């Protein structure tokens, strides 16, 4: 009786043979899933004209158009291209494509990650394997990430650019070019310069440590006099910052108290004013976000200036 009780209540031990069997079952399931996707793709091939029309129709939506393009500086000129959001929309409209990011291994404080895009109809596949260290860089150095959510967000952020490259390597370039042109047309037609839209724009940039004064210094005019073309350009810059394609310092002058007269004088006037303030020791913080040693949250220079614990704070350079 006692032997029977122990047998009934003993923990289940997975033997090497059982573990191997589970692996084989999972492999067979994955193979069957891929084979089914290929069969369906061959049975229902895409109509290129309809697929292109679906993509262009999606690009007529203002919400997508606002996030579809990014801009970054290289060699003294601005480079514009399709963002990960446009790449995902194009893949969905093109059809018969599997794409995504998956973690292959996590060991020693870093993850091995794969971004992939697979055209099931033509059997063309793009993959990019890369390493993501579980760490975050700040002005005061770097520190290890322990929270699984922080690790996940870091992997997703690093993988987005690789996934974008994989998708753009699958879909024909002429289709992507047409999608970019359609997004440009949508933005030109829907450029909103209302007070409410400008406030949302300023709030969005403040999350990346860019103030209203810095925006006005870049466009060389008051914000309420901004043109639709400048709105579109700022949206591209914002998408670049959001996707970590560039940093605020690539686009904006250091923050400081600059008068409307200085803005009217152009870039040289702004630089002269900031240089004078720097010589007097008034300008200490540059653009961008940094970690507050008191609260641990991300803040910008504006919040730091109003803090009562500023004197002696190691973050206040």
Read off the pLDDT of residues 253-309 as tens digits, 9 standing for 90 and up.
876 544 444 444 444 444 455 455 444 444 444 444 555 655 556 555 555 655 656
Q: Is the pLDDT of residue 180 over 80?
A: yes
Higher pLDDT, 62 or 8: 62
Q: Is residue 1 part of a domain?
A: no
Is 317 part of a structural domain of the chain?
A: no
Residues 101 and 134 in one domain: yes
| Among 117, 113, 96, residue whose Cα is nearest residue 105 | 113
Residue 202 CA to residue 302 CA, distance in Å, equals 13
pTM: 0.63
Average pLDDT over residues 123-133: 93
Question: Quick one: 66 and 116 in the same domain?
Answer: yes
State the residue range of the domain holding 218.
191-305
Residue 60 has pLDDT above 90, yes or no: yes
Is 220 within the bounds of a domain?
yes
Q: Which of 128, 145, 179 is the last residue of a domain?
A: 179
130 falls within a domain: yes
Determine the length of the chain.
Answer: 317
Tally of domains within the chain: 2
Residue 39 belongs to some domain of the structure = no
The token duo for 233 is 């350009």
Whether 164 and 213 map to the same domain: the answer is: no
Q: DSSP alpha helices (H): ranges in the chain? A: 2-9, 16-43, 48-58, 62-68, 84-94, 148-168, 173-190, 195-206, 212-219, 228-242, 260-264, 267-279, 301-305
Q: Tell me the pLDDT band of 80, cut-offs 50, 70 and 90.
A: confident
Q: Does a structural domain hold residue 86? A: yes
Q: Which two tokens stand for residue 93?
A: 């409209």
**Is 235 among the domain residues?**
yes
Domain boundary among 150, 179, 208: 179
The verdict on 58 and 155 lying in the same domain is yes
Question: 213 or 30: which carries more pLDDT confidence?
Answer: 213
Contact in structure between 258 and 274 (CB atoms under 8 Å): yes
Residues 293, 314 contacting (CB under 8 angstroms) = yes
Final residue belonging to a domain, choices 179, 207, 237? 179
Would 258 be classed as within a structural domain?
A: yes
């Amino acid at each position: 009786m006692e032997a029977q009780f122990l047998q009934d209540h003993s923990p289940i031990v997975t033997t090497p043979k059982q573990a191997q069997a589970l692996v084989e079952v999972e492999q067979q399931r994955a193979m069957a899933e891929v084979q089914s996707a290929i069969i369906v793709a061959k049975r229902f091939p895409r109509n290129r004209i309809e697929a292109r029309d679906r993509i262009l129709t999606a690009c007529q939506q203002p919400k997508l158009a606002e996030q579809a393009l990014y801009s970054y500086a290289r060699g003294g000129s601005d480079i514009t291209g399709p963002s990960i959001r446009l790449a995902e929309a194009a893949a969905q409209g093109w059809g018969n494509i599997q794409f995504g990011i998956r973690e292959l291994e996590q060991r020693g404080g870093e993850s091995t990650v794969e971004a992939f895009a697979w055209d099931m109809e033509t059997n063309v596949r793009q993959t990019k394997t890369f390493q993501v260290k579980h760490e975050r860089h700040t002005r005061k150095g770097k520190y290890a990430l322990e929270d699984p959510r922080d690790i996940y967000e870091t992997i997703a952020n690093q993988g987005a650019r690789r996934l974008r490259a994989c998708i753009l390597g699958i879909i024909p370039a002429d289709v992507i070019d047409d999608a970019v042109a359609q997004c440009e047309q949508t933005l030109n037609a829907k450029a909103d310069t209302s007070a409410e839209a400008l406030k949302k724009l300023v709030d969005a940039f403040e999350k990346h440590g860019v103030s209203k004064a810095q925006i006005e210094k870049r466009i060389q005019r008051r914000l309420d006099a901004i043109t639709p073309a400048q709105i579109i350009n700022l949206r591209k810059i914002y998408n670049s910052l959001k996707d970590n394609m560039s940093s605020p310092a690539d686009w904006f002058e250091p923050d400081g108290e600059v008068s409307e007269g200085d803005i009217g004088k152009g870039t040289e006037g702004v630089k002269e004013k900031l240089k004078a303030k720097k010589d007097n020791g008034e300008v200490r913080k540059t653009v961008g976000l940094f970690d507050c040693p008191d609260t641990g949250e991300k803040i910008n220079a504006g919040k730091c200036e109003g803090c009562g614990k500023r004197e002696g704070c190691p973050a206040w350079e």
